[in-house]
Every structure is written in structure tokens, then in C-alpha cells.
Amino acid sequence: PDEIIGHHAADYLTDSSREKARDLLQTVSSKHGFLEGAEYDFRRKDGSTLPVVMSAKALFDSNGVMIRALAIMYDNSEARATQAALKAAIAAAEEASKAKSRFLAAMSHEIRTPMNAILGFTQLLKMSGLDERRQSHVDAIQSAGGTLMKMLNDLLDLSQIESGNMKVERESFELDAFLSQIGDWWQAGAVEKGLRMRIAKDPGLPRT
């Protein structure tokens, strides 16, 4: 178009690309070199950006002074859009993975606590004098529960590692209730092995 006649190509570069072009031009002219595959952004008349890829060769006179540069450019809009879409997709996938890991890590306590209780009371049921048929049912529950608990532990530990949350957290709790809960969970296992389980708490310990 007539309106660009008499203007230098650099007049239509964005500010960041103009600085980049100036630095690269100095490099090419000082080394009598060749510039290939440099990416620049031109500013269109409507203010939008036109990404291009440029290759250029400096031309010199007989005294070795650069008199002009021959440049070839092509529209890089499609490749730039593809790169942006790919980066966005990767970022979304990474965020989804992090969200999954955060969710599973946060659910760790909520899942393990009732599961331990189920297994503990299942063991108590086994010791309550059930008939053979009911005993087999309880055995099946205990076996399946134990397998599920192992899978949960492995999955939740991995999720905590992935989310960077495998750490010790400090929080307040009722000590008496906590010890009583531990006793309920492990008493049956101790009795089955011929052991007597007793929880002794120093009276001087705080309640929370």
C-alpha cells in the first residue's frame, strides 16, 4: 500500500520486537552473518499483531560496510496459535492432575478413618460366636476390606506425594477420644494374637 512507502520495516514492529531486531541486526552486521528463523511481531493497521518468521542476509560494499539487508518473511500466525493452544492444553492437563491429587490428599483422613473402624468392628464380629454361615460372611467382608484399605493407602500416599502434601501437620484433637478410638480399632487384633492391650495415659497430659 502507498501508505507504507518511505517507511522502514522496523516502524511497524512492536516495541519488544523492535528491540530484538536492533540487537540481532548488530550481530549480523558485525559478523557479516546470516540470520535465520528469527521470530518478530509486526503491528497491523487495526492494532492487532502479525507474528512472522524472518531470515535475513546482510549485504556489504567493497569496504565491508553493510549497505542493506535482504530479508524473507512469512506469516507465523497459524504456528503461533497452535503453540498457544498446545501450551494451554498442557497447562489445563497439569492443573487437572494437581486438582485430582489435591482432592485425594485432602480425602486421606476421611477415607482411612472409617475404613479402619469397619475393619476393627469386623474383627470384633468374628469373635462374637457367629454361626458358620455368618462367620464366612464376616470373613469375606474383612478380606475385601483389607484389600481395599491397602489400595487406598497406596493411592492416597501417591497422591500426597504428587501434590507435594506429604508432610506432618499440626492440629488440635481430644486426646482421650483419640486413645479410646485407637483402643476400639486394635483391641480385637490384640486379643486374636493372645495379647492384652491396655492404654495408660499420664494424668498430667493435657486433654487437647
Strands 34-43 and 66-75: what pairing?
unpaired
Helix segments in 72-174, DSSP class H = 77-106, 108-126, 132-163
**Structural domains in the chain plus CATH codes:** 2-75 (3.30.450.20), 84-169 (1.10.287.130)
Cell 486413645 locates to 179
| Joined grid coordinates for residue 58 | 546482510
Higher pLDDT, 121 or 106: 121
Rounded alpha-carbon distances, angstroms, from residue 51 to 8, 18, 41, 200, 204:
17, 13, 4, 74, 73
Residue 146 and residue 48: Cα distance in Å, rounded?
A: 62
- Assessment of whether the complete model's pTM goes beyond 0.85: no
Least confident range from 41-45, 86-90, 170-174: namely: 170-174
Residue 34 and residue 28: Cα distance in Å, rounded?
A: 6
What is the average per-residue pLDDT within 98-115?
76
Residue 187 has pLDDT above 90, yes or no: no
Residue 90 and residue 193: Cα distance in Å, rounded?
A: 53
Q: What is the pLDDT of residue 136?
A: 83
Count of H-run helices and E-run strands, the chain: 5, 3
pLDDT tens by residue, 134-158: 888 888 888 888 878 878 777 777 7
What is the average per-residue pLDDT within 61-68?
81
| Joined grid coordinates for residue 74 | 512469512
| Joined grid coordinates for residue 101 | 491429587
| Joined grid coordinates for residue 114 | 472409617
Give the sign of the dihedral formed by CA 95, CA 101, CA 105, CA 106.
positive
| Joined grid coordinates for residue 110 | 476421611
Residue 207 and residue 200: Cα distance in Å, rounded?
A: 14
Higher pLDDT, 53 or 70: 53
